Each structure stands twice: as structure tokens, then as C-alpha cells.
């Protein structure tokens, strides 16, 4: 009996110590558009270079290059529970940025890949 209680206690303790945390959510461009159209107060991050951003961007996007995310994200998204939508050119940098954002404690991170898959308006 004591052994079973000890095993149960260990299982519960180890479960509570699990490092599994929040994850970013990979969504389609269509789902991102639908969610953003229905939401207010979200942040749309373009993690490409300033040159890429100046060539073409999604209206309302804020340019925050991948290599500046950790240092500057708080200036555009101070609330860790704020919805953040992330994109780049093809999806590689947005996936990296989404991972960094989750590691920084952001809980509602949506990675919809690249602008090359965005069938909607750009500027």
C-alpha cells in the first residue's frame, strides 16, 4: 500500500514538473485572415528584413526582423496574452520567430507562414 502511494505521489510530482508549455499554432493564411477579421487588438508581425517589408507587406503589419525579436518585441506586444500573428516570406523565419515568442512567454502566437501564400491584399 505504501509503495503504491509512493509511486502515485512520484507520478503526480513529475507531471507537475513537466516542461511542456505553450506552443505556437501553425495556421493557414485563410484561417489567419478569418481570425484577424474577427478580432481586435492583435499584433501582425512581419519578421522579414526591412528591405523585404518595404517591397511588399500585409496592411497593418509591423516589421520586426527575426534577429531583433527578443530585444524589441515588448515594444509592440507588452501583453503576453495578446494575439500575435507572424509571417515572413516562405514560412521558415516565421516558425523560428513563433518559437522564440512562446519561449518568451507569449501564449497566443499564430504562425501563418509566408507572404508568398497570402492570397489577399498587400501593399
Active site residue 17: no
Q: Is residue 56 part of a domain?
A: yes
Q: What is the CA radius of gyration of the chain?
A: 18
CATH code: domain of residue 75? 3.40.250.10
Who wins on pLDDT, 70 or 7? Answer: 70
Active-site residue identified among 66, 88, 100, 115:
88
Q: Is residue 84 part of a domain?
A: yes
Q: Is residue 59 part of a domain?
A: yes
Q: Determine the pLDDT at residue 32.
A: 97
Q: Is residue 92 part of a domain?
A: yes
> What's the mean pLDDT in 68-97?
97
Q: Determine the pLDDT at residue 24.
A: 85
**Predicted confidence (pLDDT) per residue in 12-35, tens digit:** 444 444 344 578 899 999 999 999
How many domains does the structure of the chain reveal? 1
How confident is the prediction for the chain on average, in pLDDT?
A: 88
Distances (CA, A) of 120 to 34, 69, 72, 91: 11, 25, 28, 17
Q: Is residue 14 part of a domain?
A: no
Long-range pairs for 9-17 at CB < 8 Å and ≥24 separation? Answer: none
Q: Is residue 91 part of a domain?
A: yes
Residue range of the domain that includes 66 = 22-117
Q: Is residue 10 part of a domain?
A: no
What does the block give as the cell for 18?
513537466
Q: Is residue 11 part of a domain?
A: no
* pTM for this entry: 0.81
Amino acid at each position: 500500500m505504501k509503495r503504491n502511494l509512493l509511486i502515485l505521489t512520484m507520478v503526480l510530482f513529475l507531471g507537475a514538473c513537466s516542461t511542456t508549455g505553450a506552443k505556437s499554432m501553425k495556421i493557414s493564411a485563410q484561417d489567419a485572415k478569418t481570425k484577424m477579421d474577427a478580432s481586435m487588438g492583435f499584433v501582425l508581425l512581419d519578421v522579414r528584413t526591412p528591405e523585404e517589408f518595404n517591397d511588399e507587406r500585409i496592411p497593418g503589419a509591423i516589421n520586426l526582423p527575426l534577429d531583433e525579436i527578443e530585444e524589441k518585441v515588448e515594444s509592440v506586444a507588452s501583453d503576453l496574452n495578446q494575439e500575435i500573428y507572424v509571417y515572413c516570406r516562405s514560412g521558415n523565419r516565421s516558425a523560428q520567430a513563433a518559437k522564440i515568442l512562446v519561449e518568451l512567454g507569449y501564449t497566443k502566437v499564430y504562425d501563418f507562414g509566408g507572404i508568398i501564400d497570402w492570397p489577399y491584399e498587400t501593399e
